[in-house]
Structure 1
C-alpha cells in the first residue's frame, strides 16, 4: 500500500520493540523498504517521510494546530463533518481504503470512521504538529508527514475514498493512487464563509467560483457526481473567534484580535461546498 519516498519500492509496516520483539500495544514502530530505507515512528505515533531538502511550503505551527483542536472540539464544524460522512456513505463502496490528503488533526477522518467501516486509513499532512494529534485520535491509521506536491507515498490504484478538505490538490497524484471508480471528496469554503468576522480577524479573502475551479482541475481524471452546499450558523465566543482565525492561513501571520473588545457572542456564518468526484476508468 505504501511506497518509499526515496526509491519508490514498497514500504512494509513493522511492529517491533527491543531485540525485534513485538510491542505489547501492537503499534507500528517503523517502515522499511527492501533496499533498506527505514523510517522510525515518532514517539507520538506518526512517521516523517519528508526527505532530501525537506519542503519549501510552510506547515501549520503548534499554535495553529492547538487553535484548531480547541475550535473543532467545540463542535462548531460538526455539521460539515456530518456532510462529509453522509457523502461518503452515499457514494463510497463497502470497506473502502481511505486516504485523507491534508488530514490536519484527523477531525474529519475520525468522524467518518465513526460511521463508515473502512479496510484501512492513511492520513497525510505536512505538519508534524497536526499529525501528532491525528495519531492520537486515529490509532489504527497510518499518519505520514509528507509534501502533497511530491509523489505521494501510496501505491498505484490502492485508494477507494480520498478526502481533501481545505488542502492543496495534486490531481495527477490523486488519479494515480485512486482505483477506477474511486470517490474523491473535496471541500472548499464559499466566499461568504466567516464573513461577519473576516475583516476583524484579518482573514484572507475567498475567491468566488472555487468549486468551478476545483471541478476544472479534476476534470482530466475525475467526473463530478455531486456538489453539496453546506451552510450553517455558529454562535462564537471571543476565544472561538480568535481560534477560528488562528487555525487557518491567517495563523501564519501575527493576529491583532483583541478578544476583550469582542461581544460575548458573535453570530457567524459557515459556508462550504462539498464536491463528490469519481475516478474514470483507465486514467491516471
Structure 2
C-alpha cells in the first residue's frame, strides 16, 4: 500500500482526520500491507470490506440509486472489450499534459476503476482515491486498483477528503458537486470532466431505450464549474465501434437505462452494429484562493 499523506481523509461523522491503518486482528500488521481500517481521533472506525473497499455512507444513507451488480457486470464486460479505449487514452493524455509531477488523484464517480487504472498505467501518481456510491462498482475498483483507497460515499454530501489536497480530479459520467471539488482541490489543480455528446450511441439509442443527451451539455458543465475553475482545454473524442448484440445490450445496461427493464431483443439484432461513441473531455484548472 502506498504512503498516504497525513490527514488526507476526513471522517464522514465528525470531519476529524481519518488515519489509514494496515493492521489486522489484534493490531498485527498484515503481510500484504493493504489498508484494513480507517479511524479518527474520536473513535469512529470504518473497516475494509472483504473486497478491499470502505463504506463511508452514514446516517440515513443516500437518496440516490446506485449502480446494481448487474449494471456493474455489464460495464465490466463492455469495457473489457476495449470499446472505450480511445476515451481512456484521451483522458490519460490530458492528465499527462496538464496534471504535473506525481499528482494526488481523486476520481469522483470512479465506477469500476477503468479510467483511473488506464491513467495510472501512463502517469505516475503519488496516491489515488476512488469514490463511488455503488459498493458493487467499488468491489471492482479495489480489485483493479490495489494501491488506491476505494470509498463508498455520496458525492452530494461533503466529500471525505481534506481541503486543498487533490492535484488531479477525474469526473467521468458522474455527478458534479462543484463547491466540494473546489474545496478539496489545491490551487491550480486540474479537473478532467467527461460528458457524452448528443449523438453518442445514436444508432442504438431508441432501440435500447437510452436517455437522450441534451444539446449544450458541455456548456452547462463549464457554466457550473465557472465559479471556481477556468476552462483551459476542450477535447472532442469521437470514434466508431463495431458491436455484437451482447455488446449492444451491455452498453445499454451499464448506464442509467440499466435501472429499468431494457427492451432489447438480442436475438433480433444483426451480428454486428456500427455505433458512434462521442464525448467531450473538458480540462479545468482551479483558480487560486477560491476554496
Query: Is the TM-score greater than 0.5?
Result: yes
Deviations 1:182-210 (A, max 9, x none): 00000000000000000000000000000
Secondary structure of the residue that 2:118 maps to in structure 1? Answer: helix
Runs of 4+ off more than 3 Å: none
2:258 to 251, 257, 277: 251
How many Å apart are 1:19 and its aligned residue?
A: 1.5
Secondary structure of the residue that 1:136 maps to in structure 2? Answer: helix
How many Å apart are 1:220 and its aligned residue?
A: 0.2
How many Å apart are 1:256 and its aligned residue?
A: 1.4
Secondary structure of the residue that 2:164 maps to in structure 1? Answer: coil
Question: Counterpart of 2:23?
Answer: 16
In structure 2, stretches of 5+ residues that fail to align are: 1-7
Question: Counterpart of 1:80?
Answer: 87
Question: Counterpart of 1:111?
Answer: 118
Secondary structure of the residue that 1:243 maps to in structure 2? Answer: helix
How many Å apart are 1:17 and its aligned residue?
A: 1.4
C-alpha separation between the residues in 2 aligned to 1:76 and 1:268? 10
Secondary structure of the residue that 2:200 maps to in structure 1? Answer: coil
1:136 aligns with 2:143: yes
C-alpha separation between the residues in 2 aligned to 1:146 and 1:240? 29
2:65 to 58, 63, 71: 58
Deviations 1:217-276 (A, max 9, x none): 000000000110000000000000000000000000000111000000000000000000
1:173 aligns with 2:174: no
Deviations 1:143-194 (A, max 9, x none): 0000000000000000000000000000000000000000000000000000
- Give aligned pairs, total: 284
C-alpha separation between the residues in 1 aligned to 2:34 and 2:171? 26
Secondary structure of the residue that 1:123 maps to in structure 2? Answer: strand
C-alpha separation between the residues in 1 aligned to 2:217 and 2:233? 15
C-alpha separation between the residues in 1 aligned to 2:49 and 2:72? 18
Deviations 1:110-135 (A, max 9, x none): 00000000000000000000000000
C-alpha separation between the residues in 1 aligned to 2:171 and 2:25? 38
2:169 to 162, 176, 181: 162
C-alpha separation between the residues in 2 aligned to 1:125 and 1:6? 18
Q: TM-score, normalized by length of structure 2? A: 0.97
Deviations 1:65-120 (A, max 9, x none): 00000000000000000000000011111000000000000000000000000000
- Root-mean-square deviation over aligned CA pairs: 0.3
Question: Counterpart of 1:4?
Answer: 11
Q: TM-score, normalized by length of structure 1? A: 1.00
Worse-matched range after superposition: 73-82 or 9-18: 9-18
In structure 1, stretches of 5+ residues that fail to align are: none
Secondary structure of the residue that 1:60 maps to in structure 2? Answer: coil
C-alpha separation between the residues in 2 aligned to 1:28 and 1:190? 39
